[in-house]
Amino acid sequence: MKKTRVRFAPSPTGPLHMGGVRTALYNYLYAKQHDGDFILRIEDTDSHRTVPGAEKYIIESLRWCGIIPDEGADINGHIVEEKSESHPYAPYRQSQRKPIYKAYAEQLVKKGLAYYAFDTPEELNEKRAEAEAEKKTFIYNHENRGRLRNSISLPEAETQKLLKETGHWTIRFKITPGRDIDMDDIIRGHIVINSSTLDDKVLWKASDGLPTYHLANIVDDHLMQITEVIRGEEWLPSLPLHYLLYEAFGWERPRFAHLPLLLKPTGQGKLSKRDGDKLGFPVFPLQWTSPEGEITKGYREEGYYPQAFINMLALLGWNPGTDQEIFTMDELIKSFSLERVTKSGARFNPEKAKWFNQQYLRMRSDHDLAREFANEIDKKFHNREISVSTNDMSFAYLASLCGLIKERAHFVSDFWEISHYFFEAPVEFDEKDVKKFWNPGTAEKMEEASEVINVIEFKDIKALISENLNKEDMEKERRENINKIETKLTDFINEKGYKMGEIMNTLRLIFAGQAKGLGIAEIIFFIGKTNAITRIKDAIRYLDR
RNA sequence: GGUGGGUUCGUCUAAAGGCUAGGACUCAAGAUUUUCAUUCUUGCAAUGGGGGUUCGAUUCCCCCACCCACUACCA
């Protein structure tokens, strides 16, 4: 049994988008499930389209997602250029494999399966334009090649002369017409195509001495002993060509699987790189800065966890056949199968993506969340005093707070919005809520509430933290103290015959600036007695004018 | 235009000829809660159309419609 070897072979023409990440992911899952290798190969045979930084971006994106190539890139995230035991097929960048390809193309010419063509791009464009004017399509194929300038139509001497004198000739694959090509796709099953519909594709071009995608792809997949080619559906039309190429070389071909496309959330067409900013969700895993300096945000910068991002992508076009939706990478490796990949294109749903992140946020420990939240705060207020990350005392406070608010957020970046009033008194009060809850007599009730709070004997969060309790005791104490505050407050409200909603919401308005948020007892427990009373006094002064 | 691929709730999908077409996201309602959120319950909502084959089609076959991809010396 041959060792499973699959590859992800992106072209560094720009940032990798999420469709590309999914293709890489499926390759990776398949490889790991079969105890095989996942190879990264850079297909940069079009030097004009190569974008500086794109290659690095692709590798970093895959690393962020936890998709680490076994071959192709080293542990530092650089494409491997020198052969070694762990990288026997180096270099893994096609531009650096340049010397390899010409001989293979020539080999096909010798076999009579390919030929030299001398038509210039301008000549061909002209032909295409002419055909289009007649509402036809110009195809470089068996019908036309006899009328074009190539080694089939031209005398041998002329061919030799042109090969020597011109620098822009190409080698084209000679398609024999009238053959039904039987193909198998792991996802789509049996497909038949007649070779007459194919054109004589360029395999190699003298202008830059480089192969085209098709040749480079087949040669490298063969040389690198690839066993399964898992790629996007846009390659399905090239499958017959690739079958014929393997046949022409006399090589055993890999098995093929063509993945469904990722479609735009709204409107028509496949998800494209431009959709991101337009529709308000990222299309890229990481932030991308174009060579022109234009910045596009990625999932990482939007606050997504890579695990959530990967999980979401895995389920876009594949399902396990069960109701399970949350998967770790290891679980994905165990459950994945190409047979259960969907055939039809999948429309990407940004709402579901957020939901996935919410699920992962909740699974996170308070400690981890606190660290992430501290970073957020530092980023937000690097010039202000609210810096909690460096202070152990505050960090414990943060962790405890995170445990309380994580149910209410999709992202850590939501945390500040939800909990800012734990760090500083509200700077303004919601007008509607003031109108609703601040009536004649409210000030007096708040005075009373403030007195009640003043006499409650409780330890606030800071006091508990300073006691260095263990986890269980801490949790127990926390609950007991919050309960105590709550009981005293409700007793007061009931004894006075006040309305629960009225008093509680007014207090919330005072503490949080609006009539929504966490439990009053929890807020008091966190901001502490002194702080709570000060806020009430200040609010009365401010609102009771 | 040509070639190929596809088509189940708004979206992602399950049902490999056989229970009332199931689940998730979204949305709505209710319960819980001092508010918001969470949680729980309930609800809305689909087999593109037409022919076959069959006792019985989401499923198999044919035609149509629509969507998508490809159609470069790009990948």
DSSP, residue by residue, A401-441 = HHHHHGGG-SSGGGHHHHHGGGTS--SS--HHHHHHH--TT
Distance in Å, residue A349 CA to nucleotide B22 C1' = 21
pLDDT in tens, A162-192: 999 988 899 999 999 999 999 999 999 999 9
Give the model's pLDDT for residue A545: 66
Residues of A classed as catalytic: 273
**CA-to-CA distance for A370 and A376, rounded, in angstroms?**
10
pLDDT in tens, A37-59: 999 999 999 989 999 999 999 99
Band (pLDDT 50/70/90 cuts) for residue A385 is: low
Could you tell me the pTM of the whole model?
0.94
Band (pLDDT 50/70/90 cuts) for residue A261 is: very high
Residue (of A447, A510, A521) closest to A484 by Cα position:
A521
- Higher pLDDT among residues A465 and A386, named by residue: A465
Distance in Å, residue A197 CA to nucleotide B16 C1' = 33
Contacts of A85 (CB under 8 A, 6+ apart): none
User: Is 80 exceeded by the pLDDT of residue A392?
Assistant: no
Which parts of A112-209 are beta strand (E)? 114-117, 170-173, 180-185, 189-194, 202-205
Q: Is residue A177's beta carbon less than 7 angstroms from any atom in nucleic acid strand B?
A: no
Cβ atoms < 10 Å from Cβ of A247: 12
Give the model's pLDDT for residue A364: 96
Domains of chain A: 5-92+261-353 (3.40.50.620), 96-259 (3.90.800.10), 364-414 (no CATH), 425-543 (1.10.10.350)
Distance in Å, residue A407 CA to nucleotide B46 C1' = 33
**CA-to-CA distance for A371 and A376, rounded, in angstroms?**
9
Give the model's pLDDT for residue A490: 94
| Smallest CA–C1' separation from A119, nucleotide | B73
Pairing assessment for the beta strands A346-347 and A37-40 based on DSSP bridges: unpaired
| Smallest CA–C1' separation from A215, nucleotide | B75
Q: What is the mean predicted confidence (pLDDT) over A121-149?
A: 91
Using only C-alpha atoms, what is the Rg of chain A?
Answer: 33
Pairing assessment for the beta strands A262-263 and A346-347 based on DSSP bridges: parallel
Average pLDDT, chain A: 92
DSSP codes of every residue in A354-388: HHHHHHHHHHS-HHHHHHHHHHHHHHHTTTSS---
Band (pLDDT 50/70/90 cuts) for residue A362 is: very high
ipTM: 0.95
pLDDT in tens, A471-522: 889 989 999 999 999 999 999 999 999 999 999 999 999 999 999 999 999 9
Band (pLDDT 50/70/90 cuts) for residue A105 is: very high
User: Is 50 exceeded by the pLDDT of residue A275?
Assistant: yes
Give the model's pLDDT for residue A383: 55
User: Is 80 exceeded by the pLDDT of residue A389?
Assistant: no
Give the model's pLDDT for residue A1: 78
Cis before A91 (ω within 30): yes
**A319 token code pair:** 């399902």
Task: Find the angle CA(A401)-CA(A407)-CA(A412) to the nearest 5 degrees.
Answer: 70
Q: What is the mean predicted confidence (pLDDT) over A331-355?
A: 95
Give the model's pLDDT for residue A381: 75
Q: Is residue A236's beta carbon less than 7 angstroms from any atom in nucleic acid strand B?
A: yes
